[in-house]
Amino acid sequence: MAIHDGDRIVYLVTGASRGIGLEYVKQLLERGDSVIAAARNPDNSGGLTTLAERHESQLTLVTMDVADPASIKAAATSISEAFPGGIDVLINNAGISGNLVMSSEQDEDEFRDILMINTLGPFLVTKAFLPLIRKGSKKQIVNISSGLGSIATAAQYLNGGASKHGVLKGADSPMARRQLGYRASKAALNMTTVALAVDLQEEGIILIAMCPGWVDTDMGSGTAGMLGVAKPPLTAPTSVAMQLKVVDGLTLEKSGTYFNHEGNIVPF
Ligand code: NDP
């Protein structure tokens, strides 16, 4: 495990094995930052071990399942030993989307799993790593949310209203009536973000919710067929480069905001 030398900005990225999380790791390494890549199985995913060999002084791998409190605690203990100076930016990225069934048919067990991974997981990771974030210089926490977690946007589909607002494809968009578990988990993550932002603002800790756009990853491509498009419009490299511009520009005054990758504010 790499030992923090104190010179670099330190980022912790969850769900780093593939998709958006892995792309965060690659771009942060490329620009010279120190990265802790947390994954359920870091030795066997996304080429993380190869990256760690290539960027030995910059990349630290840690095992963390965000649905398992013991795993989060163990990761926090090992990282606090390796990084006594703290961490600067936490990217709570790990997530699952669930099946694309109609909202009224959302499976109970799947709903519970989604809430555990997408909502409780980021909260427990934040709680476990807060002592390290308090020691860091940037004190930033980025919760990767989704536009699908916007209650304000979802409500626009009522009474045939979506076509009026130009949201997706109209009131009977195939997606608007699906993914209850995922939507609820991200809406709850948004509230978690704001509630913690309020609680921690006087300590100088910044929390935001970030919608990465519709990105061509394993998760993002799952909805393409249903919407009749070949693939999502954004690549992971483009989305993450844009997200990083937003993250780099964060100030305490922006804490509690729901941004998208373009830096625009998403309505809660
Ligand atoms: P992917 O499905 O490509 O990757 C999901 C990542 O989350 C994987 O690294 C996966 O690890 C990890 N993960 C899942 N469950 C756990 C767990 N219990 N503990 C630790 N890691 C876990 O998805 P994306 O990269 O597209 O999504 C990343 C984030 O972006 C998610 O929060 C998602 O909701 C959000 N998002 C994505 C959008 C898109 O269009 N792609 C749109 C809006 C939001 P493993 O390899 O072990 O399964």
Give the domain CATH number at 63: 3.40.50.720
Does 18 reside within a domain? Answer: yes
Does 78 reside within a domain? Answer: yes
In this predicted complex, what is the ipTM? 0.99
pLDDT of residue 172: 53
User: pLDDT by residue (tens digit) across 53-67?
Assistant: 999 999 999 999 999
Does 268 reside within a domain? Answer: no
pLDDT of residue 165: 47
Q: Do the Cβ atoms of 266 and 260 come closer than 8 Å?
A: yes
Question: Domain range spanning residue 196?
Answer: 10-96+111-147+180-218+234-260
pLDDT of residue 226: 81
Does 225 reside within a domain? Answer: no
Does 226 reside within a domain? Answer: no
Question: CA of 94: how far to CAs of 46, 171, 225, 253, in Å?
Answer: 14, 30, 23, 26
This prediction's pTM: 0.95
Q: Domain total for the chain? A: 1
User: Which atom of ligand 1 lies closest to the CA of 17?
Assistant: 9
User: pLDDT by residue (tens digit) across 110-144?
Assistant: 999 999 999 999 999 999 999 999 999 999 999 99
pLDDT of residue 157: 86
Q: Annotated catalytic, 157? A: no
pLDDT < 50 stretches in the chain: 1-4, 165-171
Does 152 reside within a domain? Answer: no
pLDDT of residue 232: 95
pLDDT of residue 262: 98
Per DSSP, 56 falls in state T
What is the rounded distance in angstroms from the CA atom of residue 184 to the CA atom of residue 142? 18
Does 51 reside within a domain? Answer: yes
Q: Do the Cβ atoms of 82 and 132 come closer than 8 Å?
A: no
pLDDT of residue 159: 84
Q: Annotated catalytic, 182? A: yes
Does 14 reside within a domain? Answer: yes
- Name residues contacting ligand 1 (CB within 6 A): 14-15, 17-21, 39-41, 45, 65-67, 93-96, 117, 144, 146, 211-212, 214-215, 217-220, 232
